[in-house]
Structure formats: C-alpha cells, structure tokens
Copies of this chain bind each other. A is one copy, B any other.
Amino acid sequence: MQVEFWYEFASTYSYPAAMRVEQAAKDAGVGLVWRPFLLGPIFGAQGWNDSPFNIYPAKGRYMWRDMARICEAQGLTLKEPVRFPQNGLKAARLALLGQDETWGPEFTRRVYLANFAGQQDISDEAALSGILEALGLDAGALLARSNERANKDKLKAQTEEAIAKGIFGAPSFVAGDELFWGNDRLDAALGWAKR
C-alpha cells in the first residue's frame, strides 16, 4: 500500500515532514505520492482567517519552540520566515504540476527551505523561478502553465479531495482509508501501509 503525503507550503510542521518523507518511505519499502493542497479554504470554513498559531498565542509560542527542537534533531536550519503564514498559492500550483513528475519532490523541498530556512518570499514569482531554474527546468513555461485555469481548478479539486478524506491540517498522511495528522505520525502511517 502506498502513502499519500498531503502538504501546504505555509505549514510549519510540513517542513520537517517534507524533508524526511521520501527517505522514510524508501526505508519502509512503501510507495509515496506527493499531494499539495491549500489549508486556507479549510481554515476559513472553520472561521479562522489566520493560522491557529497566530490566533492562539500560547499554542504559537509552543509551536515555534517545538519546531526548533525538531529541526535541531533532524539537522535542519530553521529561521524566522519573512512572514507567517506565507502565501503558498503560487508554489502549490507549481508543485501540483510536478506532483507526479521526477522534479516535484525536490521542488517541494526547496520551497520549504526557502520559506523556513532561507527567509525568502515564496509568493514571489522570481523566487519560485529561481528554484525551478536551479533544477534545470523552464521556469517561464511552468509558471505560465501553473496559472492556467485548468491547473487552478485542479488545485481546488485537490483541496476538495483533501476535505473529503477528512483532512483538516498539514501535514497529513493517508494510507488506504486511514488518516494520520502531523509530522509526528509519519512512522505510524508508514507502519499502517505495511500491515
């Protein structure tokens, strides 16, 4: 059984998850699919117009400290982003184009690094072009395709699919009919997929 990795570029805990999910799945002998989606519409439907980590300050303070410990343990740099949460819409549209392509995973990791380690604005097309070009891709063509109606609609449909699967936060992992929420559930999801 394969595991689906559902992620949102603004999501803090999706960063350590994205950086380790490919190796972890490989080590477990489990297939992996990458599924970008948008948390904004899901949070909006709950009445949140901001990250719950901003709405609930004690939870936010804890999250940043917890992230610092997790990133340190994983050997990942963590620097305060240029803003939180960042707008990951354009990056998600690009990641959607690459979700089943060989470049998709590395593009995704580099966007997370730009957001949480590189203090870059990931809503900036120049920053996204730089990442695509560094991967030897045609940035102009991909940006154009990412902004076509069909791709925009596909990202909306993928977010609807996330909701239909019961997803309410990121990262989430899906193994068959089982949902696992949070970076700390990656091993449980891989274990379930091997049952």
A interface, CB within 8 angstroms of B? 46, 56, 58-59, 61-62, 65-66, 69, 163, 166-169, 178-182, 184-185, 188
Contact = CB atoms under 8 A, between A and B. Distances in A.
A138 to B, nearest CB: 39
Contact of A66 (B59, B66, B167, B181): B181
Contacts of A58: 163, 166-168
Contact of A56 (B46, B65, B66): B46
Nearest to A191: B73
20 contacts: A46-B56, A56-B168, A58-B163, A58-B166, A58-B167, A58-B168, A59-B168, A59-B169, A61-B166, A62-B166, A62-B168, A62-B179, A62-B181, A65-B178, A65-B179, A66-B180, A66-B181, A66-B185, A69-B178, A182-B184
Contacts of A46: 56
Q: What's the number of copies of this chain in the assembled complex?
A: 2
Nearest to A172: B62
6 interchain residue pairs of minimum CB distance: A58-B168, A184-B184, A59-B168, A58-B166, A62-B181, A46-B56
A61 B165 CA distance: 11
Contacts of A181: 62, 66
A168 B53 CA distance: 12
